[in-house]
């Protein structure tokens, strides 16, 4: 049996965001234990020209939600980027995961060949659904989840590879 677009996307999105949620919870616990203002961690960056932790998490959530919606043939609703605490970022991930869980395999039937046009570096680019998933959504999701992990690790949060990968089910 061939791997469906649903199986190739939704469970991967959910697992990545669930693991990111656990990483954020460790970040919040670290801030509390070390008496660090959580805003310091949330606004931390790996390098001055990179986005802060808060933005990395928002973008990871948006990639998964927007990717799933576009693969299902609809444009995603816009969500405000107004989270200012670890708890608010975790709530955003919970809301995103709930949305992903609401999608059905039937909604993604035929998504592999569905044309999806997105602006990439300011230029319109049309992908097939499978190309969009493999060449745009997954790399972006993993980049931003990894960067969020790296920001917290760089700031002393005790994280390891198993935190990023999560339980092997």
pLDDT band for position 3 (cuts 50, 70, 90): confident
- What local confidence, expressed as pLDDT, does residue 1 receive? 59
- What local confidence, expressed as pLDDT, does residue 73 receive? 95
pLDDT band for position 21 (cuts 50, 70, 90): very high
Q: For residues 128-148, b (16+ Cβ closer than 10 Å) or e, as one string?
A: ebbbbbeebbbebbeebbebb
Task: Domain 7-159: give its CATH code.
Answer: 1.20.120.450
Region of 52 (left: φ > 0; alpha: ψ -120 to 50; beta: rest) is: beta
Q: Choose between 120 and 156: higher pLDDT.
A: 156
* Mean pLDDT value across the chain: 96
- Could you give the percent of the chain with pLDDT greater than 70? 99
What gap in Å lies between CA 136 and CA 18, rounded to an integer? 20
Sign of CA dihedral 98, 124, 45, 167: positive
* pLDDT 10s digits, 66-96: 999 999 999 998 999 999 999 999 999 999 9
* pLDDT 10s digits, 41-50: 999 999 999 9
Average pLDDT over residues 21-39: 98
Domain locations in the chain?
7-159
- Could you give the percent of the chain with pLDDT greater than 90? 94
* pLDDT 10s digits, 94-108: 999 999 999 999 999
Q: How far is CA 8 from CA 30, 119, 165, in A?
A: 34, 23, 17
């Amino acid at each position: 049996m061939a791997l469906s677009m649903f199986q190739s996307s939704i469970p991967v999105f959910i697992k990545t965001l669930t693991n990111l949620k656990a990483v954020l919870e460790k970040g919040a616990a670290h801030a509390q234990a070390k008496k660090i203002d959580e805003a310091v961690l949330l606004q931390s960056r790996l390098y001055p020209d990179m986005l802060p932790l808060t933005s990395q998490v928002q973008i990871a959530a948006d990639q998964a939600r927007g990717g799933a919606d576009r693969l299902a043939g609809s444009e995603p609703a816009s969500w405000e980027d107004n989270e200012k605490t670890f708890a608010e970022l975790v709530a955003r991930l919970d809301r995103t995961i709930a949305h992903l869980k609401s999608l059905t395999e039937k909604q993604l039937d035929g998504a592999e060949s569905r044309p999806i046009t997105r602006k990439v570096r300011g230029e319109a680019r049309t992908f097939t659904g499978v190309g969009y998933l493999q060449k745009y959504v997954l790399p972006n999701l993993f980049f931003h989840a990894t960067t969020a992990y790296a920001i917290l690790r760089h700031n002393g949060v005790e994280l390891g590879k198993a935190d990023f990968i999560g339980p092997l089910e």
